[in-house]
A and B are shown apart, each in its own frame.
Chain A
Amino acid sequence: MTYILYLILLAGVCVGGGWVFRQSGQMATQNAPYFRDMPLGVASGFVIGLLALIGGIYLYFWNGNQFFRWAIQGFFIFSVLAYYFRLLGQQLGTSASRKLFRQMPMTAAFGMATILVYAFLAIFAGQVSIATIFLIAVVGLPLVIYAQAYFTTEAARSITWIMFGVIAIFIIMYFVGPIAPYGQDQIFPRANIVPGGDPALGGDPAFPLGTDQIGRDILSRLIYGAQNTVGIAFVTTCLAFLIGATFGFLAATLQGWLDQIISRVVDVLMAIPALIFALLLMTIASAWAGSNGALLTVYMIVIIAVIDSTRVYRLARAVGLNIVVMDYIEAAKLRGEGLGYLIFREILPNATAPLLAEFGLRFCFVFLTIASLSFLGVGIQPPLADWGTMVRDLAQFINYAAFAPQAATAPLLAAGAIALLTVAVNFVVDWMLHKSSGLKE
């Protein structure tokens, strides 16, 4: 009862504060239209925002707990990272890319920077092999030559620079060695070392985030998790796109009975919730795979790719249908162009923007599905380190958070690593969608 009274009192304070705020604004600005036409609700909103800010500052400096401070600090670190990343982008690259960075909101800059960090961790978690460097050089060189011949000079120059930069980073990382201090399945004699690295509290400086229940280094597993979880999700999404986009564009271009058949099949597959369907199929797959963990992981990739390709199919078909009705497609058809030319030269170039945005969204979805499956124990199989499984294995340490905050960090870091990447991708996609929708809003 008293809580309700407090709430009413608080609401009263907000509205009253809002009224005072508006009144003083009107007086200070000689009744400028902004303050004159401001509804009381908006003014109260400002007061609520101010109260929240004050509350946050109070919690941070005086009465909050360690986790809140860590969250705030993390927020500021990433904001600064995003700011400098954007600043860098504004200075380097072609005039078009510089313009892109100038218009980029902080959220998107944060997203891009985060994705780059993840990619870096994923690629260089283990030792880079000479073969990889060689492969990149073999692929990169023709690309550079192609760019020189067909792109504008400015774009070609930046592609060349990026290629050289990438190879340089690979060579440097070859000598630096793996980022992860230990291997992902290396088992140490001491299990359950507390994170923090403070011997007095049961930590060990050699294992800054401690070890898990069978004695593997958690930090190394977190870093390798980037490689496994992100890598597998990426491969799965690519596969889903390959399947979905191919059928989607075929259906949109050919229409008729082919479109009807595929669309009805997709309707049925989409009528079963994705996670449920995935779990059902994983049950069957695990029966087939038996105790072969690697095989089960491959099955999982295929299963999720097929389930997800239905969503890609829907989008690709819709986008394709929108393009197919354009007069330039009719002109190409009447010219007598074949199916390949229509799809690859006329439709695909116009579908890249929505498909790219969808790729980001699908990646998030696949990534979360895999993480959920792993968390439920039927996803990525050991000995591969993966975040979902880590959260499940370490979850009980959260209960110690009240008296040993550092003990609870390991599961939260693994779960947070998943969340951070999807948030980052979503921010970038959100910006892309906003940009491509233009000024409609």
Chain B
Amino acid sequence: MNSVLRIVLQRLGLGVVTLVVVSFVIFVAVNAMPGDFAQAILGQGYTEEAGEAIRREVGLDKPYFVRYFSWLGAALTGDFGTSFAKANFAAYAGNTAGSGLDTVAASIAPRLENTLFLAGVAAMIAVPISLVLGLLAALYRNTIFDRFTNIFTLSSISSPEFFLAYILILLLAVLNPLLPSLSNVFEGMPFSERFIKTLLPALTLTLVVTAHMMRMTRAAIINLLASPYIEMARLKGISPMRIIVVHALPNALAPIINVIALNLAYLITGVVVVEVVFVYPGIGQLFVDSVKIRDIPVVQASCLIFAAAYILLNLLADVLSILSNPRLRHPK
């Protein structure tokens, strides 16, 4: 057990290091922008004095590394700074005192919640469907069913998310008005209504992720079924059902966990486009909007959140597949 613990701790440590380095990369990238916050915030009304004042206020006059660590330290406590869009607005309105809503954290938090809800709904639908279909495709490989699903999954992997999204809108919202095509969820909405509004973007994500997950599950299971111990089980006269459940499943756990985690990580990227199509008020849409108006603090913060989620999911996959490996769980 000791060695497993050591490996897991190693991976966790590595994950933390990666996260720190990634945050540094993001910080460097953002600071490579021409001009600075002061110029950006003041826009046309930029004067040397006003710029200097703002720089001092935000801490831009300090050295690079000091700024990085103070940003990282603040980010760890959930303080991502002040949104440029809000600050800009505030500056024009002549209102310099920031209220609670002006911070990046405050504008991101509810949207992050919405995004997690969307990803959660998509995962709830996608994971069971794709595991079952992947298993079936592996068991009945090279049959009509397998070829059909292969074509279907390849097509849906290949299609851009917005194509799938518009096809679904066309079918389920315009031609057969079953679901709303705009997902304007808001706080305090009853759960059922919120669920219905989320369903169409969730279905789009499901289509993309299911295809990926199914293909990976199929490959993992086929790989597994080709191993000599499965042949041995068949030669012992064990029933097909028992072979799957007793012999294949315990060994399939690691690859399947991996597949699920990788695809949840993939969902993170997928939400961006889908949220824009359905005008879903999630972090992806906020991110894209901020990119367009170059709202740096928000871009920086959302980027860090996306990367952190991505790294954590990969880490989780890693750790879980180590834990489910019998060779490591029962050392010599």
What residues on A are CB-neighbors of B25 within 8 Å? 268-269, 272
Among B18, B145, B158, B307, contact of A422 (Cβ-Cβ < 8 Å) = B158
Q: Report the Cα distance A287→B265, complex, angstroms.
A: 29
**Residues B304-321 near A (CB distance < 8 A):** 306-307, 310-311, 314
Contact with A along B179-196 (1 / 0, CB 8 A): 001000000000000000
Closest to B305 in A: A276
Do B269 and A419 have beta carbons less than 8 Å apart?
Answer: no
Closest to A416 in B: B163
Do B162 and A372 have beta carbons less than 8 Å apart?
Answer: yes
Do B174 and A398 have beta carbons less than 8 Å apart?
Answer: yes
Among B26, B170, B269, contact of A273 (Cβ-Cβ < 8 Å) = B269
What residues on A are CB-neighbors of B1 within 8 Å? none
| Interchain pairs with CB closer than 8 A, number | 156
Q: Known: A272-B310, A281-B29, A283-B291. Is A395-B269 also a contact (CB below 8 A)? A: no
Do B226 and A282 have beta carbons less than 8 Å apart?
Answer: no
Closest to B22 in A: A271
Of the listed stretches A121-129, A194-202, A407-415, name the one at the interface; the rest are far from the partner chain: A407-415
What residues on A are CB-neighbors of B29 within 8 Å? 280-281, 284
Q: Known: A272-B303, A376-B272, A378-B292. Is A412-B166 also a contact (CB below 8 A)? A: yes
How big is the B interface, by class?
35 or more
Q: Report the Cα distance A281→B291, complex, angstroms.
A: 9
Closest to A405 in B: B175
Do A282 and B157 have beta carbons less than 8 Å apart?
Answer: no
Do A283 and B222 have beta carbons less than 8 Å apart?
Answer: no
Do A430 and B169 have beta carbons less than 8 Å apart?
Answer: no
Q: Known: A268-B22, A272-B22, A419-B160. Is A401-B175 also a contact (CB below 8 A)? A: yes
Closest to A375 in B: B162
What residues on B are CB-neighbors of A371 within 8 Å? 160
Contact with A along B265-306 (1 / 0, CB 8 A): 100110011001100000000011001101010010011001
What residues on B are CB-neighbors of A268 within 8 Å? 18, 21-22, 25
- Min CB–CB distance A273 → chain B (angstroms): 4
Decide yes or no whether A368 CB sits under 8 A from chain B.
yes
Do B273 and A279 have beta carbons less than 8 Å apart?
Answer: no
Closest to A269 in B: B25
What residues on B are CB-neighbors of A284 within 8 Å? 29-30, 32-33
Among A364, A391, A425, contact of B162 (Cβ-Cβ < 8 Å) = A391
Residue of A42, A280, A398 contacting most chain B CB atoms (<10 Å): A280
| A-B residue pairs, 7 tightest by C-beta | A422-B158, A415-B163, A419-B159, A423-B158, A273-B269, A276-B306, A275-B269
**Chain B residues packing against A (C-beta within 8 Å):** 18-19, 21-22, 25-26, 29-30, 32-35, 140-142, 144-145, 150-151, 154-155, 157-163, 166-167, 169-170, 174-175, 181, 222, 226, 265, 268-269, 272-273, 276-277, 287-288, 291-292, 294, 296, 299, 302-303, 306-307, 310-311, 314
